[in-house]
Amino acid sequence: MPDTRTPPDPAEFPAADSLPAQATFLLRYAILAPSSHNSQPWAFAVADGSILVYADESRRLDVADPDGRELLLSVGCAVENLVLAARRFGLDPTVEYGPFEESPPSPGPDLRHVATVGLAATASVDEGAGETALFDAIGARRTNHQPFDDRPVPGSVLETFREYATASGLGLELVTDPARRAEIATLQTRADERQFDDPAYRTELGHWIGTGALGASWLTARVGQLAVSHLDIGEREGRKNSKLVTSAPVVAVLTVATVDEPSLLAAGRLFERLSLAATGEGLAVHPMSQILELDDLRTELAGLLGLGDETPVHLFRLGYAEPDSTRTPRRPVDDVLL
Ligand SMILES: Cc1cc2nc3c(=O)[nH]c(=O)nc-3n(C[C@H](O)[C@H](O)[C@H](O)COP(=O)(O)O)c2cc1C
């Protein structure tokens, strides 16, 4: 099994080679992106000086994510890694969203073309805007499921987060008030209890655990799958996750004015940018999606945060924590290149 989790050595970028060879190299960074249940719902093709990005609907979480919100966020994360890698190697990437349908060389309706990353050569490597630091964090970034320390996140980091959100035209709520976080923790408990009450939700989660996507060895993965599929663990999960929320000094919520495909891709890109910035600062990040997977609880969260017309589309904990040793695998580039 090739080690697809370790990023390539930047010194090995095939600068003198053809675009397809360069694109294949860049994609080794794209696939290190986070994705819900590590579903890696992406595929790519190289054509006419561009990388075409596809959303793989066959990998959508039909129960947890029937609308494909998390799927597009995940693809957006991969796009951001691709853009950062392209800039790092002296290319000048442009991103265009759409056409949001099957288009060549897609082999069928499950693969929808959602973005095109144009790759033009520029004279020099872009060292600006701290982007090299973001690129350097791609290999080290991990989701951290541990309780977080009781240590505040520096205001300068939160300021950088706000600047990134403003630059991408999206909303970002950074909840630090303990009373507010406790209210979100209560929503988290209710969400977990409801989700784990649903046999279809448990079976879907069990399926992804069983594939080893969430980073366990084969045997542990099977035991985990059985436990999730058959035991009533909603209450336990609810209590555990509620404590995780209250342990975090910051609960961050990404919001959009209109929930459509371009804004979800953009939100994914922003989330990955924030995750990489956090990684570079030694901070831990942990998305928690259950509240947003239930329409009524998502509406309650929006009310709690006073979001008005904005819709929350992604929620994650931010803080300091012991490293999480979980190492989630990746599908090799060959498997996701059309
Ligand atoms: C849109 C999205 C939603 C996610 N939701 C959750 C979640 O609810 N709970 C969780 O523990 N991790 C969540 N994750 C993290 C993924 O499980 C994680 O990215 C994946 O397993 C790969 O592991 P890595 O991030 O350590 O590389 C989410 C990630 C994304 C991109």
> What's the pLDDT tens digit per position in 260-291?
999 999 999 999 999 999 999 999 999 999 99
Beta carbon of 261 within 6 Å of any ligand 1 atom: no
- CA dist list (Å): 201 to 82, 196, 316: 32, 7, 20
Q: For the chain, give the percent of residues with pLDDT over 70.
A: 94
CATH number of the structural domain 10-141+327-336: 3.40.109.10
pLDDT > 70? residue 307: yes
Q: Is the dihedral of CA 54, 287, 305, 273 positive or negative?
A: negative
Helices (H) and strands (E) in the chain, counts: 11, 8
Q: Which residue has the tokens 């599908």?
A: 331
Contact criterion met (CB below 8 Å) for 277 and 160: yes
**What residue type is assigned to position 106 of the chain?**
S
The Å distance, Cα 231 to ligand 1 centre, comes to 22
Q: Give the closest residue to 121 by CA, choosing from 218, 242, 205, 23.
A: 23
Query: pLDDT value at position 126?
Result: 52
Query: pLDDT value at position 211?
Result: 87
- CA dist list (Å): 310 to 72, 184, 253, 313: 18, 17, 11, 9
CATH class of 155-319: alpha beta
Domains 10-141+327-336 and 155-319 alike in fold = yes
What is the pLDDT averaged over residues 106-125?
A: 83
**What residue type is assigned to position 149 of the chain?**
D
What is the pLDDT averaged over residues 153-160?
A: 97
pLDDT > 90? residue 221: no
Whose Cα sits closest to atom 18 in ligand 1?
34
Query: pLDDT value at position 129?
Result: 55
Query: Where along the chain do its domains lie?
Result: 10-141+327-336, 155-319
| CA–CA distance, 329 with 212 (Å, rounded to integer) | 8
**What residue type is assigned to position 30 of the chain?**
A
Q: For the chain, give the percent of residues with pLDDT over 90.
A: 77
Beta carbon of 274 within 6 Å of any ligand 1 atom: no
Q: Which residue has the tokens 């994510």?
A: 65
What is the pLDDT averaged over residues 238-267?
A: 95
Query: pLDDT value at position 128?
Result: 54
Mutation choice for ligand 1 from 289, 315, 326, 331, CB with most ligand atoms inside 8 A: 289
- The residue with greater pLDDT, 48 or 44, is 44
Contact criterion met (CB below 8 Å) for 26 and 19: no
Report the first-to-last Cα separation within the chain, whole angstroms: 20
pLDDT > 60? residue 127: no
- CA dist list (Å): 39 to 27, 45, 72, 212, 301: 17, 19, 12, 11, 26
pLDDT > 60? residue 81: yes
Whose Cα sits closest to atom 7 in ligand 1?
288
**Quick one: tokens of 31?**
């696939």
Q: Give the closest residue to 48 by CA, choosing from 75, 24, 28, 20.
A: 20
The Å distance, Cα 122 to ligand 1 centre, comes to 34
Beta carbon of 214 within 6 Å of any ligand 1 atom: yes
What mean pLDDT is reported for the chain?
92
| CA–CA distance, 29 with 110 (Å, rounded to integer) | 23
Beta carbon of 328 within 6 Å of any ligand 1 atom: yes
The model's confidence at residue 212, banded by pLDDT at 50, 70 and 90, is confident
Whose Cα sits closest to atom 2 in ligand 1?
36
pLDDT > 70? residue 56: yes
Residue 309 half-sphere exposure, CB side, CA atoms within 13 Å?
3
Beta carbon of 209 within 6 Å of any ligand 1 atom: no
Q: Which helix (H) or strand (E) holds 312?
A: strand 311-319
The Å distance, Cα 69 to ligand 1 centre, comes to 13
Contact criterion met (CB below 8 Å) for 31 and 336: yes
Query: pLDDT value at position 328?
Result: 94
Mutation choice for ligand 1 from 35, 73, 195, 269, CB with most ligand atoms inside 8 A: 35
Provide the whole-model pTM. Answer: 0.95
Q: Give 66's DSSP letter.
A: T
Query: pLDDT value at position 234?
Result: 77
Kindly report which listed range (172-186, 228-242, 250-264) carries the lowest average pLDDT score.
Answer: 228-242
Buried b (16+ CB within 10 A) or exposed e, 33-49: bbbbbbbbbbbbbbeee
